[in-house]
Chain A
Amino acid sequence: MNHTPTTEQRLWMYRHMVLSRYLEERIESLYMEGKTPVFNMAKGPIPGEMHLSNGQEPCAVGVCVHLTPEDIVTATHRPHHIAVAKGVDLDAMVAEIFGKATGLAGGRGGHMHLFDAKVNFSCSGIIGEGLGPAVGAALSRKLQGKPGVAVAFMGEGAANQGAFHEALNLAAVWQLPVVFVIEDNAWGISVAKQASTAVPRNDRRASAYGMPGVHVADNDVEAIFSAAGDAIARAREGQGPTLIEIETARLAGHFMGDGEDYRPKGEKEGLKQRDPIPRYRRQLLDAELLDDISDTDLVEQAHARIEAAIRFAQDSEFLPPEAALEMVFV
């Protein structure tokens, strides 16, 4: 079935892509504070690894537009776009990225470990680790007779993890309401997909588990919307899991500080020309769902929301260091 988004859904997807991108742009500049001229990951207001999601926003919004806060999402080490689209509390999320007391976990988790139970969002820094929990959350809903689907996001590299195959089999053998979404950005850090993966398309691996596999080309927001709409509807109707692989683009490095020398010459420039946000803006302008004034308004509001979250984080205190000893157990 070919789903077409409503105007409201289109503008929601666009707005959340803009929100996410601006968040990443601001994090990018804040992250570099204290890290020049010598790049030292431990320095600056945001220390540690930083994996930006620039370019992958269509995956997040095209899927999450179909979800409610009750639905479950597990995300990856590159989680910001998905967290934004899932409705994670932006202030608490940015504060967590800064390691502050007001952060989602008081600064114990950081950017790879964002948990917002209010909207059933979590992520993890280990490749393929979110799949089992998504299957289990779906099982939980089935056992409790409560509505809700679980969506496990992953990169294309995760499809070569044992956890991927175990989780797909388990979800299929128990016919659970799970959707597995692969964001194929073509690179596992520096290793190209074709050098690591025996099949050109991971959606074909779905056949090994008797579930539908769907491929979405070209980072297309509305094609993702349609594929995800089908898969989530199937899950809600009790028809079991689906695997979706989306061709997306990593416009930044694997992490900040990545020299990206492994990329073929010109690849990044080509990807930037196909940046999904200007593309979708053009599409909405052409469809007259947006005009220059309303676009400016939407962008300004999004930027203001992100700036407010950053100010909230910057103005927040750190927990006393000995708070590190708390919350090992509840």
Chain B
Amino acid sequence: MSMTTTGAGTRKLTIARAMAEATAQEMRNDPRVFVMGEDVGPLGGVFGNTRGLYDEFGAERVRDTPISETAFIGAAVGAASDGMRPIVELMFVDFFGVCMDAIYNLMAKNIYFSGGKVKVPMVLMTSTGGGYSDAGQHSQCLYGTFAHLPGMKVVAPSNAYDAKGLMTAAIRDDNPVVFMYHKSLQGMGWLGTEKGATVPVPEESYALEIGKATVVREGHDVTLVSLAAGVHHCLRAAQALEDEGFSAEVVDLRSLVPLDRETIRASVAKTGRLIVVDEDYHSYGVSGEIIASVVEHDHACLKAAPRRVAYPDIPIPFAPTMEQWALPNADKIVDAFHQMMLS
């Protein structure tokens, strides 16, 4: 359990602060690391994840860009291939539509097309998630979209400890890493922050291995698998189930690529039940992949058909009544467990 094995003091950080701290520490140690994107400079990032960097490192290494995602993500690929280690921000993951070519045809393929002779050590930071009525072009998660396309590592932390360690690892990785941070976990008051994401974080630099899930709560009746904000829904559901006398295990994926199938399978082998919680769209996504990874490995370990609590296959609506109705939450997870036990 990452949050309890750190030996950290009591200093708590938000994910935004943790990302900025990891970046600053890497920038101090490695002159090849630089940051570029929209509003990453004096503003410190719309979601706070580059705060303080401009003051410490200046405009050359913390570069505000024009609103030209195709150009600056393509430029990051060029700089990474030339020996730099750029960190580039796609402000909202929804904006991938204007620059996906630079992401999946360049960033994700240049290593392969060079037979491994060209490295692309870059981090693409991008915000995900809704829940604050920003409607369907600023609220998506799109985890499955990015994880589906080969050539990019993908991480999505649920708390500040993991965010710092994964950010450090992402910057040091010689492969492109998509760092997906959820807005509701970011610690920006105006986005209605999830308190459980702000946790003790060591001041010293550390890296978490990309591709390792973690069991954040142990249990034996059902495995709840999720990532980012969904982990907190699972933890609340696990508490509610405990009050009913059931014991739920919660697996925080932390990374989507590589996917830690072993940890998921080991947990389901123990509990015999699986519910996947995903704020991304229901169909063709992470939830289906997790279930398939378990079932194709060993269907006999399941005591009940697996279930998923995911975002319906609809554009994200504006009206709070509609959006909140559609989003996964702890009650829906508890309901899914009840139905599983009835069937």
A115 in contact with B117 given A139-B75, A139-B79, A328-B111 (CB within 8 Å): yes
Pairwise interchain contact B68-A170, C-beta atoms closer than 8 A: yes
A141 in contact with B114 given A132-B102, A136-B74, A170-B75 (CB within 8 Å): no
- A170 partner residues in chain B, CB cutoff 8 A: 65-66, 68, 71-72, 75
Contact with A along B111-123 (1 / 0, CB 8 A): 1111111110000
Chain A residues with a Cβ closer than 8 Å to the other chain, count: 43
Q: How far is it, in angstroms, between the C-alpha of A127 and the C-alpha of B37 when the chains are bound?
A: 23
- Give the interface centre of B61, B79, B83, B102 by most chain A CB atoms within 10 Å: B79
A122 in contact with B72 given A115-B117, A132-B77, A136-B78 (CB within 8 Å): no
Pairwise interchain contact A104-B71, C-beta atoms closer than 8 A: no
Q: How far is it, in angstroms, between the C-alpha of A134 and the C-alpha of B106 when the chains are bound?
A: 12
Interface positions, chain A 153-195, Cβ under 8 Å from B, are 162-163, 166-167, 169-170, 173-174
A72 in contact with B106 given A105-B112, A106-B115, A136-B77 (CB within 8 Å): no
- B84 partner residues in chain A, CB cutoff 8 A: 139-140, 143-144
Q: How far is it, in angstroms, between the C-alpha of A124 and the C-alpha of B110 when the chains are bound?
A: 9
Interface positions, chain B 64-121, Cβ under 8 Å from A, are 65-66, 68, 70-84, 86, 98, 101-102, 105-106, 109-119
Contact count band on B: 35 or more
Pairwise interchain contact B70-A163, C-beta atoms closer than 8 A: yes
- B74 partner residues in chain A, CB cutoff 8 A: 129, 131-133, 135-136, 163, 167
Pairwise interchain contact A108-B105, C-beta atoms closer than 8 A: no
Closest beta carbon of chain B to A91's beta carbon, Å: 14
| A150 CB within 8 Å of chain B | yes
Query: Of A108, A136, A139, A174, which contacts B115 at CB under 8 A?
Result: A108
**Which residue of chain A is the closest to B258 with respect to CB atoms?**
A329
| A250 CB within 8 Å of chain B | no
| A199 CB within 8 Å of chain B | no
- A136 partner residues in chain B, CB cutoff 8 A: 74-82, 86
A166 in contact with B71 given A105-B114, A108-B112 (CB within 8 Å): yes
| B34 CB within 8 Å of chain A | yes
Closest beta carbon of chain A to B333's beta carbon, Å: 33
| B153 CB within 8 Å of chain A | yes
Pairwise interchain contact B114-A166, C-beta atoms closer than 8 A: no
Query: Of A126, A129, A328, which contacts B112 at CB under 8 A?
Result: A328
**Which residue of chain A is the closest to B175 with respect to CB atoms?**
A329
- A166 partner residues in chain B, CB cutoff 8 A: 66, 68, 70-71
Query: Of A126, A141, A174, A329, which contacts B153 at CB under 8 A?
Result: A329
Q: How far is it, in angstroms, between the C-alpha of A131 and the C-alpha of B150 when the chains are bound?
A: 23
**Which residue of chain A is the closest to B86 with respect to CB atoms?**
A136
9 closest residue pairs by CB, A with B: A132-B74, A136-B78, A136-B75, A133-B78, A105-B115, A166-B71, A115-B114, A166-B68, A140-B82
18 contacts between A and B (CB under 8 A): A105-B112, A126-B105, A129-B74, A131-B71, A132-B70, A132-B78, A133-B74, A133-B106, A136-B75, A137-B82, A150-B78, A162-B70, A167-B68, A174-B63, A328-B112, A329-B151, A330-B119, A330-B174
- Apart from A115-B113, A117-B81, A329-B153: 16 A-B pairs, beta carbons within 8 A: A74-B78, A105-B114, A105-B117, A106-B115, A117-B117, A129-B74, A129-B102, A131-B74, A132-B74, A134-B78, A136-B79, A139-B75, A170-B66, A170-B71, A328-B150, A330-B175
